């Protein structure tokens, strides 16, 4: 991943989640921190063509990670 992408993840973490409120009928508004991070990983998965929930840290550290590629 690029430094810019990592900086974006760090910014999401710093900002944190939104206060989650529920409308009548139980419909939530706002996003938790986990939902925000997962949404960003979903964008990265589409860009780099990997399965979004298979990301693991790489032994290389830093901006590197491992993930299962999407089926061709």
Query: What does the pLDDT look like over 4-56, one tens digit per residue?
Result: 999 999 999 999 888 777 777 777 788 889 999 999 999 999 999 999 999 99
Structure tokens at 13: 């973490």
Residues with Cβ within 8 Å of 63's Cβ and at least 6 positions away in sequence, in order, are 1, 2, 3, 5, 6
Q: What is the DSSP code (8-state) at residue 25?
A: T
The verdict on residue 59 lying in a domain is yes
* Domain membership flag for residue 7: yes
If one counts the domains in the chain, the total is: 1
Indicate whether 32 belongs to any domain.
Answer: yes
For residues 11 and 39, is the Cβ–Cβ distance under 8 A? no
Structural domain that includes position 23: 3-66
In a domain, 71, yes or no: no
| Domain assignment present for 23 | yes
Let me know if residue 72 belongs to a domain.
no
- Tell me, what's the pLDDT at 72? 65
pTM: 0.79
């Amino acid at each position: 991943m690029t430094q810019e992408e990592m900086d974006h993840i760090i910014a999401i973490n710093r900002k944190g989640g939104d206060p989650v409120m529920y409308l009548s009928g139980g419909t939530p508004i706002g996003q938790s921190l986990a939902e925000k991070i997962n949404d960003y990983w979903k964008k990265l998965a589409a860009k780099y063509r990997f399965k979004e929930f298979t990301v693991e840290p790489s032994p290389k550290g830093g901006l590197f990670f491992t993930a299962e590629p999407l089926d061709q």
